[in-house]
Structure 1
Amino acid sequence: MDKSFEPSQIESKWYAQWEANGYFKPSGKGTPYTIMLPPPNVTGTLHMGHAFQHTIMDTLVRYHRMRGYDTLWQLGTDHAGIATEMVVTRQLNAEGKQRSDFDRESFIARVWEWKAESGDTIGRQMRRLGVSGDWTRERFTMDEGMSEAVIETFVRLSEEGLIYRGQKLVNWDPVLKTAISDLEVVSEEEDGSLWSIRYPLADGSGELVVATTRPETMLGDVAVAVHPEDERYAHLIGRMLALPLSNRQIPIIADDYVEKDFGTGCVKITPAHDFNDYAIGQRHNLPMINILTDDARINDAAPEKYRGMDRYVARKAVLADLEAEGLLVETKKHKLQVPRGDRSGQVIEPYLTWQWFVKMDTLAARGLELVEQGHVKFVPENWISTYRHWLANIQDWCISRQLTWGHRIPAWYTDQGGVIVARNEDEAAHKAAAQGYTGALRRDDDVLETWFSSGLWSHSTLGWPNPQRQAELGFDRYLPSSVLVTGFDIIFFWVARMIMLTDHFTGEVPFKDVYVTGLIRDKDGQKMSKSKGNVLDPLDLIDGITLDELLAKRTRGLMQPKMAEKIEKSTRKEFAEGIPAFGADALRFTFASLATHGRDIKFDLERCGGYKAFVNKLWNASRFVLMNLGEEAIAPTKPSTEAERWILTRLRDTLATVKEQLALYRFDLAAQALYEFTWNEFCDWFLELSKPALNSGDAAAVASTRYTLVHVLETLLRALHPLIPFVTEEIWQHVRPLLGIEGETIMLRPYPEASDVEGDDTATAEIEWVKGVLTGVRRIRAEMNIAPGKTIPLLFADGDATDRERSAKFAAQVAFLGRVESPAWVDGEEPAAAVAVVGGMRALIPLEGLIDVGAEKTRLAKEIARVEGEIKKCEAKLGNANFVANAPVEVVEQERQRIADWTRQADAMREQARKLG
């Protein structure tokens, strides 16, 4: 092995070999274990959230593959209708071209070119991270098989009466000129105004005052509502108002939606431009007057004066006219939630338009039932309440989009006004003729929203609805999948829809578990965004990036100079030296260590640095083991020393913990257990404890220690492999020959089980005693500034028979590792000495000729103060009646034992301080 670990030199090498040898493919043997990758959008590159979730999935897949499961990790990408169309349109604009320069077919051809480029980029990034999914099965939501599934789903739902076309209010982006989903609307508080306006009674006998933040929409008002129990207006219900600026009259109606005590208690009703008003309009059978065009200009349904005006130009004109007529009561500042499209950044309009919808009542009821009955489980469990809330308040699902890129809706229109849903044009013509329609058919220009096709992901990727493809791809074997790893923000938009659609068409749930991850934020808890300049690219963390490159990446495309300047300043401050190359393994271990069950995850680069050091520690420890073993195979030998039996016991317990925590999706606790065993117990202690045996001249001890070293290392490499696959593969290839292991890769070796490791709890107690003595000696050396290589005397005092037995048994090891003379027990008067307390025994290092007595007295005083602080903490807990009454008995007893232990240590140190004078 090389002296230093260089990730860049081994990661690409091993990944290429793994993929070329087909190790990622399902074996077809054993119990199936399936994960469906949430398909990343084909619009660009992977972000930190992708890398985090991919690490979790890869850990699960590698772990189960090693445990003998038939693992399938289904990979693929999503066509991302709106986002992809926007990217390609911008590319055309940069070339001096417009979207309107292209017909439908030529524009789609251009998008396919972009897809090929972007899809390849995503694939390269996933490989750099170590994703061990089956690339031979990679799917795209618009490939031939997936498109067949989309059309079949649409047609069947239509035939069942679950899909219909209707005129309803939707979220409308006036820049993109398409309906968008709630997920694509981001509402944030902004400064605005609240205008109060007089609405005169038609007979001139009075007026009502209403308040609005969108005065231009009054041109589409159809009523003013009051609460039915509001005594101020009861006598006016049913009477007519003269709508200002319009030659129309509108009624005063009563509805429970109105809050009597809010504002004037009067609410203008504009059903075609407000979702709440739309519901009121439905209840009262009010007309729907749409006053906007698809680009948010005033249309011909409004008074002629305002026609053609942009909505905000119209707002100024309406306000000016109201003021001129004495109808504007007041204007005051107002904070309001403004909905903006997450793609265009423009204010979204509730807009009345014809769209295609899926009826959700029966589908949602079934989706809720499947989760309530435990067929699908959420981890953490609290997310079921989010799922339950959304499905209990569900509305029909708008599935059509006014885009070019996507699955074109399989519906055709006849000259006579008929609508024909069919799988293809020939089938549509046959159906039209059967229904008596004549003439040419015109296909719907709209496409289906992305969530419709991705909602079929779990079963369409396995060949549905084609029976032959289903058989080839293992439909019956791999559905339901084992777990879905996804973010909480798409529980409804994707998770719920997959549950409903997969069950409806296959009779199976799409997955048994849903592991909901938190959101990756920066180290200060801020959401990562380009506008904040705190986005991190996972590949930059793997390969490193210079400050200049990072600045160029973060400020590229920013239109506001002040924003670019701010981002540059903060980036220079935080990354003055750029970002070093941490390697994929260190980044993966960082993600695993952060994978708690919390909602938000703070990502700090310092942790990456810490886990890079961890990977280097493993590398250097492995080099030490290999240098002490030679090149010949080592025969299995039973452990002959307590140190060997101790490390095997700790290995057993660690493996049990890892298995337990991975079953609970506690990747953070599994990573922590492996980290502590690797760093503290194997590298820091066992390698040290092995040295006396290797240098003892005892042939049995040398042989067994050599075998235990390589056996524990090989087992540890397999245990770590799902988390850090590259470095473990590289080291394992050097270790494998020493144990005579057959096989080409660690990833196909069995994952180690605790039951395969024989432990010895007695040895654990004895080695903990040795560690306590050595730790005490080393602490005194450090605090007293005694040279590490200087041999010093060591005495023992107090203690019991067990301590005396251990001091004799481990005298050689303590002397060798502690650089001390052979330990002796104090008889008679004790010399002035530095003390370390080990259980009920004291380890003494005589101070004469070694240290400054005054400095030792200061050290003891500090240590006594620290221990007294620990005693006070325990006493505070035990003095709390609630703690004593509610905590488990063993926890309360543990606190009492701690007081006894701390008190014994404090008394021993006080006695030592007394002896120093």
Structure 2
Amino acid sequence: MEDTMRKELPTTYDPADVEDRLYRQWEERGYFHAEVEEDKPPYTIVIPPPNITGQLHMGHALDNTLQDILIRWRRMQGYNTLWQPGTDHASIATEVKIVAAMAEEGLTKEDLGREGFLERAWKWKEEYGGRIIKQLKKLGSSCDWERERFTMDEGLSRAVLEVFIRLYEKGLIYKGSRIINWCPECQTSISDAEVEHEEQQGHFWHIRYPYADGSGYIEVATTRPETMLGDTAVAVHPEDPRYADAIGKNVILPLVDKEIPVIADAYVDREFGTGAVKITPAHDPNDFEVGLRHNLEQICILTDDGHINEKGGRYAGMERYEARKAIVQDLEDQGYLLYVEPHSHNVGTHDRCHSVIEPMVKQQWFVKMEELAKPAIEVLKKGELTFIPERFGKVYLHWLENIRDWCISRQLWWGHRIPAYYCTKCGHMVVDRTMPEGPCEACGGTEWVQDEDTLDTWFSSALWPFSTLGWPDDTPEFRHFYPTSVLVTGYDIIFFWVVRMVFSGLEHTGECPFQDVFIHGIVRDSQGRKMSKSLGNGIDPLEVIDKYGADALRFTLVTGNAPGNDMRFYWEKVEASRNFANKIWNASRFILMNMDEEPTATLDELTAADRWILSKVNRLTKDVTENMEKYELGIAVAKLNDFFWEEFCDWYIEMVKSRLYNREDSTRPAALWTLRTVLLNALKLLHPYMPFITEELFSYVCPEEETIMLSSWPEYREDWDFSSEEEEIEIMKEAIRGIRNIRAQMNVSPKHKAMAVIVTSDGRTADIFQRGTGFFAPLSYTSEVVVQRDRTGVPESAVSIPLEKAVVYIPLDQLVDLAKEKARLEKERDSLSKELERVAKKLSNQGFLAKAPQAVVEEERVKEEKYKALMRQIEEQITRIGK
């Protein structure tokens, strides 16, 4: 920033001219960087790491705007702030993109081999992986980019390896066969976070399962008839009287022609369907649990690419949906199909390839969750972890209390490879930090191969709050900045990320990784729909920034925002935010144009108006700070908007104009000092929300300081609490508003001045209006202000504005030409009389009342009341003129 006062701002604010320039300056000067400073309290946020495949969307924009607001605020408060940035390797998303690019060249993964593929993946990461970081910078994100991390960098990879080994050695990681989400298209297991549930139109096929003893049949319904090839039981509720005699019997599995038992299990919902359900343990999560309880066989009937395997009899080799058609036809031909009914239901699809996922029992690596979940539950119950809003703590608890073992292996090449090694001679497995160098302890073999699978991306991101700070090493950064202060994230990943970070932090560091979890909703379109590619309703944040600037986008995303609630995006709101920025710019430009040098004044030299606005910004400081402490950022920004737009620009600046224009006015320096002081404090309060425009204005208004980013956050001051003056000015504002309303009703031009007579017997009220005449007259468009104790000399026809301890009178003949006004009002009365007559006739017509819709009748009644009220007003005005 320049050392001399920069007095004249450009005429208009152009974000394109300001934002990139300022961001480069911030980065070059290292304002975002944090070093360990033991004498300053730490404040740490870790960014939810975006995928390296990512493109900035409105969810990212909201999430990062909220984090930046908190970081900028705490930085100004004097905290040692670290906003830790980085990106996630995104195993599936990245591999899908690279495979698709290779397919255009006629190549497959197998053509390149694992090493060749990984070499290509790293090149892709270097070329495209930093795109979203550049986009976050366009938003104004003040992350410590010097500390940027990547989930597959050397340090984080070492942390992942260490965690895997420690959990395995504790018996918390195991390899086994359990039900998982399987994508037949990508041919890998996927996490719940990667499953999107889409409502699809399907069918319920009602099928007859005959009793083996020939005594009849049991009716079951299914949406996936192909899975019946893997049925191992039919289940009913143990207390369902309809099936009391069936429990223990066997039924014939149609088409497969084998006997399976009828079992009793409380899992069955007696009220749903027929109250009898087919049990396919290898292809349904609930059936899997039922199968474990009843020791049922697990029969997987699908291949990895979604075809029926050799266990499917004559259907073997068919694609799953091809097999479904064949099975349904055979059921009908053989008399097993009772009937089919349409059914709308949620179907799980892979969010990357949009293929329908298949629940399948497969051998995978799992983390035992019961032991890890307990301390994660306790920290919430003890208050060591807080959700904002609090209701999301119940969601967190419910998921943890019903948690299942976590499948952590993926059949991918891009990612952290599982550190398990197998003897090529006998298959003996060793889990270690490095490949075994000695002979196999089981058979003496000397050749080893590493497990082909990689770890779930969530496994590495679960360590993010501490692995990014150097763990497992005891680094100064880890000691100073961990645990972090707050996590800011959307409500859609509480289960997948927040829970994993909490139990991982507790297990490996002994501390909860953050104290607060600030949950926000999602940004929907103007119709309330979720933004998606399929709907084509997504809004590109970069497009908004190019058109209106980053500040306008940020301000829009926070305006009306409440923790945990969704919000709608309207272009009109962005325009309003841009207009707000222009209002601040123009007000600052006006102030600077009138400022010859840095003004000085004491509190004793301030007028009531000066003290009023100083007290207002003082109260604003207290309120905004308290709101931010509670994460009520939307409420805080609304107060900032109201203060800047109304109190400061529309009222105070207008109040002091006459003092500024009169260089002989002894109170002019006090007005200038107040303007500059209030503007600086308000800019600081606004800075976290609109960093660019506030920085640019600060450099003009306060050139003696290097940057607003490192300036001190305003604090509430007892000596700036002028409650009495606030009350005074509010009385005068009420009077001014009353006069303006009367003039507006009578269509009186602002150029036309009129006398105002203030009648009050209260000495203090009289003094208030006497002292404030200097700004009261121009703001109320009055030619003269007279303050007196009674109504002596005030015409009967004068318009009155009643206040609590005074009445303001304006002689009507000074506002309008009485003869012309009376003629206008009488003409309006005649026109209104005709409308009233028309409505009354309509409402007295029994035919209309009987035949017209109730809403139409009600509309006419509302019109009648409205016209009557207008008629009373006109009659009063005519009577007043007559006097």
TM-score, length of structure 2 as denominator length: 0.89
**Match among 425, 430, 442 for residue 449 of structure 2:** 442
Of stretches 758-767 and 163-172 in structure 1, the one that deviates more from structure 2 is 758-767
Alignment partner of 1:793: what SS?
A: strand
Matches within 5 A, 1:611-630: 611-630=577-596
Aligned-partner Cα distance in 2 for 1:385–1:696: 63
Give the CA deviation at 1:309: 0.5
Aligned-partner Cα distance in 1 for 2:370–2:822: 81
Aligned-partner Cα distance in 2 for 1:380–1:653: 26
**Match among 454, 478, 482 for residue 479 of structure 1:** 482
Of stretches 394-403 and 436-445 in structure 1, the one that deviates more from structure 2 is 436-445
Aligned-partner Cα distance in 1 for 2:827–2:367: 75
Of stretches 475-484 and 191-200 in structure 1, the one that deviates more from structure 2 is 191-200
Alignment partner of 1:188: what SS?
A: strand
Aligned to 1:700: 666
Aligned to 2:504: 501
Q: Deviations over 1:821-877 (max 9, x none)?
A: 22124414524233333334232222226425449979999xxxxxxxxxxxxxxxx
Matches within 5 A, 1:319-718: 319-414=328-423, 415-425=425-435, 428-430=436-438, 433-434=440-441, 437-467=444-474, 470-471=475-476, 474-543=477-546, 581-630=547-596, 632-638=597-603, 639-696=605-662, 700-718=666-684
Matched, 1:34 2:25: no
Alignment partner of 2:146: what SS?
A: strand
Q: Deviations over 1:53-112 (max 9, x none)?
A: 111111110111011000000000111111111112222223443334321122222222
Aligned to 2:725: 763
Matches within 5 A, 1:68-79: 68-79=78-89
TM-score, length of structure 1 as denominator length: 0.86
Aligned to 1:16: 24
Aligned-partner Cα distance in 1 for 2:718–2:531: 45
Aligned-partner Cα distance in 1 for 2:108–2:21: 44
Aligned-partner Cα distance in 2 for 1:686–1:263: 70
Aligned to 1:289: 299
The total of aligned residue pairs comes to: 822
Aligned-partner Cα distance in 2 for 1:236–1:717: 77
Give the CA deviation at 1:193: 1.8
Q: Is the 8 A contact 2:656 2:775 kept in 1?
A: no
Aligned-partner Cα distance in 1 for 2:828–2:33: 62
Q: Structure 1: which 5+ runs fail to align?
A: 544-580, 862-906
Q: Is the 8 A contact 1:651 1:757 kept in 2?
A: no
Aligned to 1:719: 685
Q: Structure 2: which 5+ runs fail to align?
A: 1-8, 830-871
Alignment partner of 1:278: what SS?
A: helix
Aligned-partner Cα distance in 2 for 1:423–1:859: 95
Alignment partner of 2:717: what SS?
A: helix
Aligned-partner Cα distance in 2 for 1:438–1:444: 17
Alpha-carbon RMSD across the aligned residues, in angstroms, is: 2.4
Q: Is the 8 A contact 1:541 1:583 kept in 2?
A: yes
Cα distance 1:255–1:374, how it changes in 2: closer, same or farther (>3 A)? same
Give the CA deviation at 1:668: 0.8
Aligned-partner Cα distance in 1 for 2:688–2:718: 19
Matched, 1:101 2:67: no
Aligned-partner Cα distance in 1 for 2:465–2:601: 47
Of stretches 689-698 and 269-278 in structure 1, the one that deviates more from structure 2 is 689-698
Aligned-partner Cα distance in 2 for 1:400–1:715: 53
Q: Deviations over 1:443-482 (max 9, x none)?
A: 1111111110000000000101123xx23xx101111111
Q: Is the 8 A contact 2:349 2:355 kept in 1?
A: yes
**Match among 740, 760, 776 for residue 814 of structure 1:** 776
Structure showing greater relative contact order (alpha-carbon pairs closer than 8 Å, 6 or more residues apart): 2
Give the CA deviation at 1:43: 0.8
Q: Deviations over 1:595-626 (max 9, x none)?
A: 21342111212111111111101100001101
Give the CA deviation at 1:124: 1.2
Moved over 6 A (4+): 855-861, 907-913
Give the CA deviation at 1:707: 1.4
Cα distance 1:718–1:263, how it changes in 2: closer, same or farther (>3 A)? closer
Aligned to 1:211: 221
Aligned-partner Cα distance in 2 for 1:326–1:176: 37
Give the CA deviation at 1:217: 1.3
Amino acid at match of 1:729: E
Give the CA deviation at 1:257: 2.5
Q: Is the 8 A contact 1:835 1:909 kept in 2?
A: no
Q: Deviations over 1:259-285 (max 9, x none)?
A: 445444432221111122111111111
Matches within 5 A, 1:797-836: 797=759, 800-824=762-786, 825=788, 826-828=791-793, 830-836=795-801
Give the CA deviation at 1:911: 8.3
Amino acid at match of 1:218: M
Aligned-partner Cα distance in 1 for 2:148–2:142: 12
Cα distance 1:848–1:203, how it changes in 2: closer, same or farther (>3 A)? closer
Aligned-partner Cα distance in 1 for 2:587–2:211: 88
Cα distance 1:154–1:860, how it changes in 2: closer, same or farther (>3 A)? farther
Aligned to 1:837: 802
Aligned to 2:742: 780
Q: Deviations over 1:569-608 (max 9, x none)?
A: xxxxxxxxxxxx1111111111221321342111212111
Of stretches 651-660 and 250-259 in structure 1, the one that deviates more from structure 2 is 250-259
Give the CA deviation at 1:335: 2.5
Aligned-partner Cα distance in 2 for 1:409–1:757: 64
Give the CA deviation at 1:404: 1.3
Give the CA deviation at 1:190: 2.0
Matched, 1:747 2:709: yes
Q: Is the 8 A contact 2:826 2:878 kept in 1?
A: no
Q: Is the 8 A contact 1:483 1:512 kept in 2?
A: yes
**Match among 86, 109, 112 for residue 122 of structure 2:** 112
Give the CA deviation at 1:418: 1.8
Aligned to 2:858: none
Alignment partner of 2:666: what SS?
A: helix
Alignment partner of 2:129: what SS?
A: helix
Give the CA deviation at 1:386: 0.2
Aligned to 2:192: 182
Identity over aligned pairs, percent: 46
Alignment partner of 1:485: what SS?
A: strand
Alignment partner of 1:301: what SS?
A: helix
